[in-house]
Structure 1
Amino acid sequence: MSTETVHPILAGKRALVVGVANEHSIAYGCALAFRKLGAELTLTYLNDKALPHVAPLAEALGAELLPLDVEQPGQLEAVFEALARHSRLDIAVHSIAFAPKADLQGGLLDCSRECFLRAMDISCHSFVRMARLAAPLMTEGGSLFAMSYHGARQVVPNYDVMGPVKAALEASCRYLAHELGPKGIRVHAISPGPLKTRAASGLKDFDLLLADAVARAPLGELVDILDVGNTCAYLATDYARRLTGSTVYVDGGLNIIA
Structure 2
Amino acid sequence: MAESTRTSGVSVHDRQRERAARGVRTRQSLAAGKSDRPTPPRRRRPAMAALAVLLIVGGAALAGLLAVNLDSRTSVIVVNQDVPAGTEITTDLLTTSMVASEGLKIVPEDQVSAVLGTYARVPLSEGQLLDTTMLVKGGVLAAGTVQVGVPLPAGRVPAGLRSGDEIRLIRLSDGASSQPTPLATALVLRTAAGESGGIVDGGGSSGGGATLMVPSRAADAIVDAAANERLGMALIRHGVAIDDVELSVLGGPR
Higher percent of residues as helix: 1
- TM-score in terms of structure 2 length: 0.23
- TM-score in terms of structure 1 length: 0.22
Higher percent of residues as strand: 2
Specify the structure having the higher radius of gyration (Cα): 2
